[in-house]
Amino acid sequence: MAPLTQRLPAENFTPTHPQVFRRLVDDQLVRKLAGLTQLYGGERLDLFHEALLEYVRRPGKRIRPLLFLQATELFQPAGSAHLLDDLVSVATGLELLHAFVLIHDDLIDSSDLRRALPSLHRSLEDRSEGNQPVRTGSNLTIVFGDLLFALAQKCIIDTRIPVRATLLSKLLEYVFDTGYGEIADILLGDNCISRVSVREIKWMYHCKTARYTFECPLVLAGIIAGLTEMELRQLAAVAQPAGLAFQIQNDLKEFVRGVQNGVSDDLVEGKKTLLLRTAYDRLGPEDRMRLRNLSGQKSRTASELRHLQRLILKSGAVAEQEALVEALFQQTFLAVESPMLAPEIQAGLHNLLQTIRRLIQAS
């Protein structure tokens, strides 16, 4: 891997291959969790620690740590080569934060699966030996999620990075956004789609997913590099449409998987997605009423859920959302060209974001 302090001509910047950074982060994930096991291990806890480690180590895109490390490599703060282990520790903290969010999100949604394997609360239920395994699994999941959140913060504050306190403070701002995005998701899910606006859904996406997925890694890397406040604001402007596109694309993939394999989890859970709202707006009065009624019912049969899927397909909302994803990425690349960013950062960001986009599309 090229030294982080080496300044390359803009046209020559190529991010380190994602697999290199992914391996570094995965190794640290194991070490950080092994530290918990050593401190708090014991016969009664070991089975649950195994479940937690297995959950965190599952293959994933690692978008947040990859974006952070590749942005840090691009910005190349002076004298940072000797801090590589600390930078990987911050990246690991971002992945632990993501795991914390997913663990609690799965519990809230009563999801059985995560990355094609049992969600953490289901894994912990299976390991519970008492007479209330469901309650025990849920309770342990809340606590283990909180522990991962604490460990994520420790990954930052224990580094030698001079601005580590600033990094942690900024990270916690994104955590507030994510939490309130989750609250919005819960509240919107309890409303009829006709009473949920596009603006509300986009705000929820922005807070719950977009900011901590794209903006947070870029801005933290910029803080370490000593970028100006104006440059950091422009990085946020670059990240905002990309983060929204990321969530919409996730919704589309979930819907397509549901069509191919049965029923989308988002429809089962009553999620008020932009795809659903777009379908509602595009349908004629009769179909719109059917979609509103089906999406608002507390419990639906498999046949009713498949009917709901057919209405979404009929509306043409999928194609409209695909076009929106493309338009949002174009907004991102236009924002990269801002004169507020140095030419070498512009060119490097363009390459970096293209790499991340390909990773997302391939997953």
Assign 3-class secondary structure to 172-195: HHHHHHHHHHHHHHHHHHCCCHHH
For the stretch 199-210, pLDDT in tens is 999 999 999 999
Residues in the chain: 363
88's tokens: 């990987």
Residues of the chain with CATH 1.10.600.10: 13-161, 163-363
Res. 264 pLDDT band, cuts 50 70 90: confident
37's tokens: 């096991």
User: How are the residues of the chain apportioned to helix, strand and coil, as percentages rounded to the nearest 5?
Assistant: 80, 0, 20
Indicate the average pLDDT of the chain.
91
pLDDT value of position 88: 97
Work out the percent of the chain whose per-residue pLDDT is above 70: 94
What is the C-alpha to C-alpha distance for residues 341 and 242, in angstroms, rounded to an integer? 17
Provide the angle, in degrees to the nearest 10, between the axes of the packed helices 302-315 and 317-336. Answer: 60
Provide the angle, in degrees to the nearest 10, between the axes of the packed helices 84-109 and 164-189. Answer: 20
Helix/strand/coil (H/E/C) assignment for every residue in 89-141: HHHHHHHHHHHHHHHHHHHHHCCCEECCEECHHHHHHHHCCCCCHHHHHHHHH
For the stretch 231-256, pLDDT in tens is 999 999 999 999 999 999 999 999 99
Q: Which amino acid is at 68?
A: F
pTM surpassing 0.85?
yes
What is the C-alpha to C-alpha distance for residues 94 and 137, in angstroms, rounded to an integer? 25
What is the C-alpha to C-alpha distance for residues 100 and 29, in angstroms, rounded to an integer? 13
pLDDT value of position 15: 61
Sign of CA dihedral 248, 254, 259, 264: negative
108's tokens: 């809230």
Greatest mean pLDDT range, 10-14, 152-156, 302-306, 336-340: 152-156
For the stretch 137-172, pLDDT in tens is 999 999 999 999 999 999 999 999 999 999 999 999
What is the C-alpha to C-alpha distance for residues 359 and 137, in angstroms, rounded to an integer? 33
pLDDT value of position 297: 83
Contact 98/65 with Cβ under 8 angstroms?
no
pLDDT value of position 243: 95
What is the C-alpha to C-alpha distance for residues 246 and 240, in angstroms, rounded to an integer? 10
253's tokens: 């993939």
Q: 13-161, which class in CATH?
A: mainly alpha
Work out the percent of the chain whose per-residue pLDDT is above 90: 73
To the question of domain 163-363 being in CATH 3.20.20.70, the answer is no
pLDDT value of position 80: 63
For the stretch 62-111, pLDDT in tens is 999 999 999 999 987 555 667 899 999 999 999 999 999 999 999 999 88
Mean pLDDT of 339-361: 88
What is the C-alpha to C-alpha distance for residues 159 and 89, in angstroms, rounded to an integer? 7
